[in-house]
Amino acid sequence: MRIGELKYRDESWDYRTADTKEYTHCFHTYPAMMIPQIARRLLDSYGVEGEWLLDPYCGTGTSLVEASLFGMHSVGCDINPLVRLIATAKLTPIPLGTLDSELKKLNDTLFQVEFGVDKIPDAPIPKIPNLEYWFSQEAISYLAYLLDCIKRIEVQAVQNFIMVAFSETVREVSFTRTGGFKLHRMPAEKLENFHPDVFGIFRKKLNRNRQGLAAYLEKRRDVETSICSTNTVDGELPMPRPIGGYNLVITSPPYGDSHTTVAYGQFSRLSAEWLGLPNARKVDKLAMGGHRTGKIPAESPVSSAIEKIRSVDEKRAYEVTAFYVDLESSINSVVKTLAPRSTICYVVGNRRVKDIMLPTDEFVVATFAKHGFSHKETIVRNIPNKRMPKKNSPSNIAGRTSTTMHEEYIVICQRTDQTCP
């Protein structure tokens, strides 16, 4: 169904029944992950073997994994240290013999503890505020011992692989409600009967991830991959930068500020604290729209919507404005790294705030147009299988909700000029 000259709906992009957990995509749940089929199809259309792909908001590395299967070198950036760890593990080609040897040693140690002693051995417990609010004493003891065993593994790639399974186990054995992303404790009636098998859950994660890695190793091409902490909002540029610039961008930036859309930082906080990762409680503040100020030009595609929001809620309009100021700053940094002939594919959501639709897809088109990019097309797809909130409370009145996003917009722009910015 065609909506405008260059924007149309295409249900073939919905992938309602597709397996989104192939290869190392099975590693670790995370909010609002791009499904691999989208990255794969975009690579088939715009990728060139041996060239370079950039994902400036790479999350757990979906587009990077697909690039390595396709045959493109890739660089991914993210401010969240937990997802950088996950993406690194998903991309690292560990020899299965090396991995299996370390897994056997770890499994033998855990087996002896489970069935050979009356009390789990003492191990250092991380200094985490309110730890006992989120975990039972038993879970704390098991997790601490497990973490101590993992830290003793000398092969860093193997340790990263196992840490990812540990991270997902942390969240699953915590008192956190599993249905959402924000940190909310289970109700008391559920806590009474909640006795998770820490080692059993951990083993299942390891076995699943090992199978995913084996499948990935069979198809992975001999390419370079790199993960960095670059924050393009602050003008930082991804590294390494290939000679001539990146040829293709496939990415899915945040849909809005983390406080009111997807709380990436809250979702990852407990795992990050157990692992001792930096800024465990600051990720949402450091994310787009977290604390910056600025103004949106009156001619911007989102200006009218923001003014409507301002008429009913000045604070929310400020938060929305901060997000788009940051998104524009990020795009301004990204274009500095791109090749003279390059293609960008931004998968965005047009969220609702105060029941007002914000045309983020049009904002992306307009911002790239300032840098010489022509709008090729925008594909509108339904979101049948993406793990993210579908409703919010536009009025903050209990029980009154509104749809946030049930569609994604795949924005594709191309630059064909002969000079880099």
* Cβ proximity of 325 and 361 under 8 Å: no
Q: Report the 10 Å Cβ neighbour count for 281.
A: 12
DSSP character string of 86-118: HHHHHH----HHHHHHHHHHHHHHHHHHHHH-S
**Residue at a domain's end among 193, 217, 241:** 217
Angle at 115 between CA 113 and CA 121, to 5 degrees: 25
pLDDT value of position 127: 95
Same domain, 186 and 313: no
Q: How far is CA 326 from the centre of its chain?
A: 18
Domain assignment of residue 176, yes or no: yes
Same domain, 170 and 303: no
Q: Report the 10 Å Cβ neighbour count for 338.
A: 25
State how many domains the chain has: 2
Same domain, 270 and 310: yes
- Phi then psi dihedrals of residue 9, to 5 deg: -90, 145
Same domain, 235 and 347: yes
* Cβ proximity of 30 and 225 under 8 Å: no
pLDDT value of position 407: 95
* Cβ proximity of 330 and 235 under 8 Å: no
Same domain, 87 and 235: yes
Token duo for residue 131: 């730890």
Token duo for residue 22: 């192939």
pLDDT value of position 401: 45
In the chain, the amino acid numbered 129 is P
Q: What is the mean pLDDT of each run of 10 residues along the chain (421 residues)?
A: 86 96 97 96 98 98 98 98 98 98 96 82 95 97 97 97 98 89 90 95 98 98 98 96 97 87 88 96 90 83 96 94 96 98 97 96 98 97 70 46 74 78 46
Same domain, 150 and 79: no
The pTM score is 0.94
Question: From start to end of 207-355, where are the E strands?
Answer: 225-228, 246-251, 338-348, 352-353
Same domain, 252 and 308: yes
pLDDT value of position 400: 44
Domain assignment of residue 2, yes or no: no
CATH number of the domain bearing residue 401: 3.40.50.150
What 8-state DSSP symbol labels residue 24? Answer: G
Instruction: Report the candidate in 383, 316, 315 with the shortest Cα–Cα distance to residue 349.
Output: 383
**Segment holding 133, helix H or strand E:** helix 131-134
Question: From start to end of 320-373, where are the E strands?
Answer: 338-348, 352-353, 356-357
Distance, first Cα to last Cα, the chain: 36
Domain assignment of residue 188, yes or no: yes
Domain region containing 361: 7-93+220-415
